[in-house]
Each structure stands twice: as structure tokens, then as C-alpha cells.
Amino acid sequence: MDLLNILMDADNCEPIALQDEDGEIMRFKQVAVIPYGLAIYCVLKPLDEIEGVADDEAIVFRVDFDENGETIICLEEDEGTALAVFEKYYDLLADRADKD
């Protein structure tokens, strides 16, 4: 199944497995998929220990496509964009809480 389909599947509870540049597999829990600007981002919480990332932190990744058209996700390195994505996520949580 394509990664984008997995990310967009509201019923998916399976961890997202990503390979780092050293070939290590890291597992993440999907927190949210957030459209922002002209891109789609996903917020993932590490299930495995990552140096420099606290247990209660999540990471923003940008959804992109490789040269074959396959969905990939890339760490969002622009801090301003990552913070804006988190802000939009928090706004969505607040809207949802207001409706409950």
C-alpha cells in the first residue's frame, strides 16, 4: 500500500516504519496529517528512542514524491514551517474540543 494511503487511512493504527540514512529502522506513531500551504505534512511521534528527541515530542515530516512517483516523507527542516504545522494541528484540536 502506498505511504500516502496509509497516512490518510483514519483506521490505520500500525506504526509507520522509516529508514534513516544509516539504514536503521525507526518506528513512529501517526499523530496527524496536516495540509499547510501547498503541501501536506504529517506529525509523527517516535516509538523508538531518537537522540535529541524527548519521549513526549513529535516530529513534522513533509509528504513528497520520489522520481518514480512513490510517496516519501522528508523531515521538515525549516523550523518556521514545522512550528506553523504544529500550530495548525493545535488549532484543529481546539476546534474538535469545541464541537465535543
In the chain, the amino acid numbered 27 is R
Residues 6+ apart with CB under 8 A from 83: none
Q: Where does the pLDDT of residue 13 fall: very low under 50, low under 70, confident under 90, or very high at 90 and above?
A: confident
Q: Which domain holds residue 49?
A: 3-99
Average pLDDT of span 33-54 = 93
Confidence tier at 98 by pLDDT (50, 70, 90): confident
Residues 6 or more apart whose Cβ sits within 8 Å of residue 30: 7, 12, 16, 42, 43, 44
Question: What cell numbers appear for 96 in the block?
Answer: 474538535
Domain count, the chain: 1
The pLDDT assigned to 93 comes to 87
**What local confidence, expressed as pLDDT, does residue 95 receive?**
83
- Is the pLDDT at 81 greater than 80? The verdict is yes
